[in-house]
Amino acid sequence: MIIVMRHGASQKDIDKVVEFVKLKGRTPHLSQGESHFVIGAVGASQVDPRDFELLDGVREVIKISSSYKLVSRLFKNEDTVVEVNGEKFGGGYAGMIAGPCTIESREQIFECAKAMAEAGVKIIRGGAFKPRTSPYAFQGLGEEGLKLIREAADTYNLAVTSEVMEINQIPLFIKYVDILQVGARNMQNFNLLKELSKINKPVVLKRGLSATINEWLMAAEYILSGGNRDVILCERGIRTFEVATRNTLDLCAIPVVKKLSHLPVIVDPSHGTGLRDKVLPMSLASIAAGADGLMIEVHNKPECALCDGAQSLYPNQFVELYEKLKKLAPVVDKTIG
C-alpha cells in the first residue's frame, strides 16, 4: 500500500502516519517525491486503505495487491480447459450449452432434449429451482424437474447443467447434474461458493448484476481456493441506466477477463439481452470478441414457455445460429465445441 501525503503536510502528520503503519503490522518506507511525500506500507497484514485516508495530511491511499491468486494468469499462464461430455470450454474451444429456461413437464423437456441433440448440442440447460422476483410467480418443479431433465438427457446422450440456489440442494444436484450453475443473484453467496469449492463437478459462475470484474474473479477465487479448479465464468449482462434492453451485455469483459485469468469465460446472450431477436447478433459478437462458449435459451414452444419465453429461440432459429457460429469461429481462431 502507498500513502501519498498532501502538499504541505506537516512533519507531525507524517510521523502519525508512520506510527499507524507500524500499528497495522506493516513496515513504512519513506520517500520525498517532487511534489508529494510518499510512504510505502510494506508487508502482508490485512489493511483497509480507508483507515489511512482519514488521517490528517493524507491525500490519497493506493492499495496494490489484488486479493485473487489462484484465478490469476500470473499463477497459471495456460488456459484452463473444462471438458464435459466431449464439449470443451477454453484453450481455443468455444463450447455450447443450450436448452429451455425452465423444466416445465416431461413432454417439454424431452422435446427440447431431442431438438438439442439433433442440432448437435452436447450439454442441455434447464432450471428446476427458479429465483423469481415475485413470490407469486412459478418457482420451478424442484427435484422432480431434475429427475426429468436427467432422464431426457440420458435418452439423448446429453450432459446437464442447472442452477443451484442453496447449500441444502447440493447433494441433489450432484446426483442429477453434470455442471452446477451459480446464478447472478448468488455470485456473492459466499457460503454457497465455499461448499461448491469442495465438489468434484464443474461450476458455471454467472456474473452478478452489478459486480465488477474484480469482484467476479474474487468470487471464483472462493471456489478455486477450496480445491475445485473447474470454473467457467459466464457474462450475462450488467445493470445500467439503459432501459431498451433488460441488461447491458458487457462483451468487453471477455478480453478483460482473458487477460487477467486463465479461466474460460462464456456468454449468456438470452439473459444478457432479454429479447429473442437480439440473441443471434449478440451470440456472434460474443464469439468474435473471444468468448470460450455460449449458453443459450431454446424452447420447443417459446410462446407457451412458463418463464422467459420472450428470450428463448425456436429450435430452427438455434440451428441457423449454430451454423453461422461455425462459419465465424475460424476467423477468430476458435473451434466451436
Find the part of the chain contacting its own copies (CB under 8 A) among 87-95, 107-115, 142-150, 219-227: 219-227
Residue 171 within binding range of its own copies, rule CB under 8 A: no
Q: Which is nearer to its own copies, 67 or 335 (CB)?
A: 67
- Alpha carbon 240 to chain centroid distance? 18
Residue 331 within binding range of its own copies, rule CB under 8 A: yes
Q: Which is nearer to its own copies, 117 or 319 (CB)?
A: 319
Strand 265-267 with 231-235, pairing:
parallel
Residue 327 within binding range of its own copies, rule CB under 8 A: yes
Report the b/e string of 115-126 with b at 16+ CB within 10 A: bbbebebbbbbb
Q: Which is nearer to its own copies, 137 or 154 (CB)?
A: 137
* Sign of the CA dihedral running 99, 321, 211, 43: positive
Q: Which is nearer to its own copies, 177 or 219 (CB)?
A: 219
Residue 262 within binding range of its own copies, rule CB under 8 A: no
* Sequence-ordered alpha helix ranges (H) in 79-228: 106-119, 143-155, 170-176, 190-196, 213-225
CB of residue 156 to its own copies, shortest distance in Å: 28
Q: Which three cell numbers stand for residue 24?
A: 497495522
Give, as ranges, the residues between 230 and 249 that touch its own copies (CB under 8 A).
238-245, 248-249
Q: Figure out which of the listed residues 163, 221, 268, 297 binds its own copies, where binding follows CB under 8 A.
A: 221
Residue 253 within binding range of its own copies, rule CB under 8 A: yes
Give, as ranges, the residues between 130 and 149 that touch its own copies (CB under 8 A).
131-138
Q: CA 325 → CA 21, 91, 291, distances in Å? A: 55, 17, 12
CB of residue 92 to its own copies, shortest distance in Å: 15
Give, as ranges, the residues between 67 and 106 that touch its own copies (CB under 8 A).
67-68, 74
CB of residue 158 to its own copies, shortest distance in Å: 27
Residue 227 within binding range of its own copies, rule CB under 8 A: no
Contacts of 172 (CB under 8 A, 6+ apart): 143, 146
Residue 15 within binding range of its own copies, rule CB under 8 A: no
CA Rg value for the chain: 23
Asked whether the beta carbons of 201 and 230 are under 8 A apart, the reply is: yes
Give the Cβ contact number of residue 249 at 10 Å. Answer: 23
